């Protein structure tokens, strides 16, 4: 199968490698530009743990502090891997979504033990922080990067979609799904989606594709990359 991978470049390369190992042809087409925010070193002296909801959040954090001794509570396996690759020594994996991470953090941390620090994107919503604050935790959320939509499909991806040589597109977030839908509309490729399967990491991601019509829309059993790739079986 020929699969379109819409993740930012660093994550897309890893996903493409896994697809090729499974015998598929991967076409990389990033739809967002990750822009890290420069600034002084972060003040983390009173932080008991990092709330990591994305691999890019971990990378943005690692650029702004030399500390690797603070425990990282990661939303899922890819984010946990990014934290380990960045050199963090204590990494725990909530194996789910933001709601799962909030529940896990309530077990792993103590309300009086110091702040929970959440490095996020400019577009991040506040459900995670709100849930933890309601449980008595101090949560410090800080924008350390931006995921800016690129606005259009790269040429090779647009050609594959228009020519009907694309079998499926992988979508890993509602933001990415909205960026894909907008790029398709701008490129005049709405009708071409009818022969493509949209493989989504969550129901919210699938809903963000509306009103586009696909040959099939499938939602992963778990919000992680392996579950999304299992949809290809």
pLDDT at 126 over 80: no
Q: Can you give the residue range of the structural domain that contains 180?
A: 2-31+150-230
The contacts of residue 164 (CB under 8 Å, 6+ apart) are 192, 195
Residue 45 and residue 105 in one domain: yes
Number of domains in the chain: 2
Residue 59 and residue 91 in one domain: yes
Out of 100, 122, 147, a domain closes at: 147
Pull the structure tokens for residue 226. Answer: 């392996």
With pLDDT > 70 as the criterion, what percentage of the chain qualifies? 98
Tell me the chain's radius of gyration from C-alpha atoms: 18
CA distance 135 to 34: 32
Measuring CA to CA, which residue among 31, 6, 35 is closest to residue 152?
A: 31
Residue 174 and residue 204 in one domain: yes
pLDDT tens, residue by residue, 201-231: 999 999 999 999 999 999 999 888 899 999 9
Residue 40 and residue 95 in one domain: yes
Biggest distance spanned by C-alpha atoms of the chain: 58
């Amino acid at each position: 199968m020929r699969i379109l991978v819409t993740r930012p470049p660093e994550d897309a390369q890893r996903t493409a490698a896994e697809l090729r190992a499974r015998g598929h042809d991967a076409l990389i087409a990033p739809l967002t530009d990750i822009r890290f925010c420069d600034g002084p070193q972060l003040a983390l002296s009173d932080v008991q743990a990092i709330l990591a909801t994305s691999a890019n959040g971990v990378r943005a954090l690692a650029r702004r502090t030399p500390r690797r001794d603070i425990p990282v509570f990661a939303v899922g396996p890819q984010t946990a891997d990014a934290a380990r690759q960045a050199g963090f020594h204590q990494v725990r994996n909530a194996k789910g979504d933001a709601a799962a991470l909030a529940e896990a953090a309530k077990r792993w941390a103590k309300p009086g033990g110091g702040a929970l620090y959440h490095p996020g994107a400019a577009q991040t919503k506040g459900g995670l922080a709100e849930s933890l604050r309601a449980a008595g935790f101090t949560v410090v959320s800080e924008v350390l990067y931006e995921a800016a939509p690129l606005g259009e499909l790269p040429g090779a991806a647009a050609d594959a979609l228009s020519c009907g040589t694309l079998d499926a597109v992988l979508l890993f977030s509602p933001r990415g799904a909205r960026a894909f839908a907008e790029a398709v509309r701008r490129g005049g490729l709405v009708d071409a989606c009818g022969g493509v399967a949209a493989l989504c990491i969550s129901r919210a991601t699938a809903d963000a594709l509306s009103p586009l019509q696909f040959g099939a829309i499938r939602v992963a059993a778990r919000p992680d990359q392996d579950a999304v790739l299992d949809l290809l079986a």
